[in-house]
Amino acid sequence: MKLREIEISNYRSINNLKVSIDDFIVLIGENNSGKSSVLKGVELFYSESLKGFNSENFHFKDTTKAIEITLTFDRLTDEEKEQKYIKHWIFNEQVKIKRVIAIDSDTQKLKSSFYGWQAKPLLEHFDLSKFEDYKANLTQIVTDNNLPDYFRTPQNKVTQASYKEGLRQHIEAGLVEFGEPGWIANPGGLSENFASLLPQFYLVPAVKDAQDDSKITQTSGLGKLINDLTNRIVTANPKFAQVKTQIDGLKKFLNRAADGTDVDRLEEIKDLEKNLSDIISESMPDSKVEIEIVTPDLIDLFKETKITIDDSIPTSIENKGHGLQRALIFSYIRAYAKLLNEIKVGEETKKRNFILAIEEPELFLHPNGQRKMMSVLRDIAKDDQVLMCSHSSFFVDMFQYPKIAIVKRDGKGPTYSVQYTGDIFEDEDQKKSFRYLSFFDISTSELFFARKVVLVEGDTEKQIIPYWASKLSTGDKRYDFSANNICVTACGGKTNFSAFMKVLNNLKIPYVVIHDIDPIDFPEDKPDKTEKEQHSLRMFKENLKIEALLSADFGKLIKVNPELEPIIGVSNSQAEKHGKVRAAYFKYDGINMV
């Protein structure tokens, strides 16, 4: 079972937001756009406790609207489909669960409820979402509708528990007719049974102290590992019996037995206890001292676990760099996932999927470290799933646009996301060309992070236009590309404009196309065109393709007649001597353009 869709309403800056996920998703967007709220929303869905939860978690602090977090799961295995707590909540090959968190208007206390999406029975007395309306008449319902004996207890009585169990069997036997789907409260006792079958979730926040995560607590990465390890020892390893016997043996030497006898107790402890009792009885005659030495349980033996990292100098984790500390936290999670992600189906053990959410995986990593981290995350996503938010182009593949969700806020408005999961490219050659550009030029992925993109043909324009803008920005801040988050992207030729435009159109990113008109000096229908003329005609016809693809909402077009190079003012001899980009730089360096 894997996560397919996240839908969040009325949480923090999010009014309503949907994100689809296959194996992994990268959330990108400017600071304070709400990326972290998406990951924390999923964490909230999984959270057992609402400790520390307050009105600030509601959308713009409006507590009149409940927070709703809906997760849709699909890709269920055959074994999962037969799990009794899941099978009746599958609709259209999906399991859809919603958590609702609200503040009770009467008590002003938080209340949390879970709902499952399921086709509702046509007959009202089979609809558990309306159980409160008819629960007082269960015996009459069973009698009047001549329902089978499994709706009753062995004592022939109809209780709420027997009725629900009977309904489960009735549905399993195919004797309940269903209509349109709807939300039904608390699917199968979600917190007790259902949740343990869902993919496991773990979030690595952007700021995380490895020292805290190395402590043995119920919520730390190492604590979860150690607790799970001890549980496995208790249930599976026969050596535990020997350890337990030794601990019990220690107890009898230190403390009285359950019946109050102390035959085996150490004489030194008994003498100390007697001396203390004699002394205190001098001033308090009816008092005596009893000494009990608390002996450790098995888990207590692990509480002083020390983690040492040997990177040629063995030291504790707090003495290592932040990059290594964060890598250790990441290792805890992966190791914990391997231990935990198994479920029992009959006599067999099956893998339970894992969802890793990580904020800013690029933190404290140099560029090559970021590449390695992305490779690791992709490996995890082959079997499990990865949700991440990032500001680094190393974690964004332009060709993998369906796995990118751009999270935005317009001013102080609500957070929303833009994502396109369809197939943008109908032409296979164009798809290959776009893949080539994204694979060999990582800088092209920067366009996803920009507020506006300037598309140009080649490297000369990519370098000289920002340079011109930097000169102009001293007098007009509109030309400050950095402050306005404007990205200039070289498309690798005029024929590639259409591929970039399709991506930007579908992801609703504003852009400007600057291209040469490349006019021709011969009729289009001229017979026996030379190879050079055929090439010139193809370039000229690209003008129409670009105009046809231009989005009325997001695109603008600047056509340069005949071409940009004469405007730049670099001669052929200068270009040959220095290269176009250097020649252009030398021409404009030191010139006051204001």
Same CATH fold, 427-588 and 1-121+178-214+353-422? yes
> What is the pLDDT tens value at each position of the chain, 594 positions in all?
999 999 999 999 999 999 999 999 999 999 999 999 999 999 999 988 888 888 899 998 899 999 999 999 999 988 888 777 777 788 889 999 999 999 988 888 899 988 888 888 899 999 887 888 999 999 999 999 999 999 999 999 999 999 989 998 898 888 988 888 888 877 555 555 566 778 888 888 876 555 555 555 555 555 555 665 566 555 566 777 777 778 777 888 888 888 888 888 888 888 888 888 888 888 888 788 888 888 777 666 666 667 787 777 887 766 777 677 777 776 766 666 666 555 444 455 556 788 989 999 888 788 888 888 888 888 888 888 999 999 998 899 888 889 999 999 998 899 999 999 988 887 777 777 777 777 767 778 899 999 999 999 988 899 889 988 988 898 899 999 999 999 999 998 999 999 899 999 999 999 999 999 999 999 999 999 999 999 999 999 999 999 999 999 999 999 999 888 778 877 777 777 877 778 877 777 765 544
Other C-beta atoms lying within 10 Å of the C-beta of residue 288: 13
Q: Could you give the CA distance from residue 377 to residue 226 in angstroms, rounded to a whole number?
A: 24
Kindly report the backbone phi and psi dihedral angles of residue 496, in degrees, each rounded to the nearest multiple of 5, phi listed first: -95, -5
Q: What is the pLDDT of residue 345?
A: 45
Q: What is the pLDDT of residue 594?
A: 43
Q: Could you give the CA distance from residue 320 to residue 324 in angstroms, rounded to a whole number?
A: 6
For the chain, give every domain's residue range: 1-121+178-214+353-422, 123-176, 219-352, 427-588
CATH code for the domain defined by 1-121+178-214+353-422: 3.40.50.300
Q: Could you give the CA distance from residue 354 to residue 357 in angstroms, rounded to a whole number?
A: 10
Dihedral angle computed from the Cα positions of residues 503, 509, 510 and 514, in that order, rounded to the nearest 10 degrees: -30
Which residues are within 8 A (CB) of 132 and not within 5 positions of it... i.e. 6 or more apart?
none
Helix (H, G, I), strand (E, B) or coil at 426: coil
Q: Could you give the CA distance from residue 352 to residue 2 in angstroms, rounded to a whole number?
A: 9
CATH code for the domain defined by 427-588: 3.40.50
Other C-beta atoms lying within 10 Å of the C-beta of residue 271: 10
Q: What is the pLDDT of residue 325?
A: 72
- State both tokens at 387: 């949700």
Closest CA to 21 of 76, 73, 93: 73
Q: How many CA atoms are closer than 13 Å to the CA of 318, on its beta-carbon side?
A: 6
Q: How many helices and strands (H and E) does the chain possess? A: 18, 21
Residue 15 contacts residue 9 (beta carbons within 8 Å): yes
Q: What is the pLDDT of residue 293?
A: 85
Closest CA to 566 of 519, 533, 512, 534: 519
Q: What is the DSSP string of 18-40?
A: EEE-SSEEEEE--TTSSHHHHHH
- State both tokens at 499: 């591929």
Site of tokens 């074994």: 79
Q: What is the pLDDT of residue 548?
A: 95
Q: What is the pLDDT of residue 593?
A: 43
Which residues are within 8 A (CB) of 81 and not within 5 positions of it... i.e. 6 or more apart?
87, 90
Q: Could you give the CA distance from residue 333 to residue 214 in angstroms, rounded to a whole number?
A: 12
Pairing of strands 67-74, 2-11: antiparallel
Site of tokens 């005029």: 494
Pairing of strands 24-28, 404-409: parallel
Q: What is the pLDDT of residue 348?
A: 53
Which residues are within 8 A (CB) of 467 and not within 5 positions of it... i.e. 6 or more apart?
584, 585, 588
Residue 329 contacts residue 63 (beta carbons within 8 Å): no
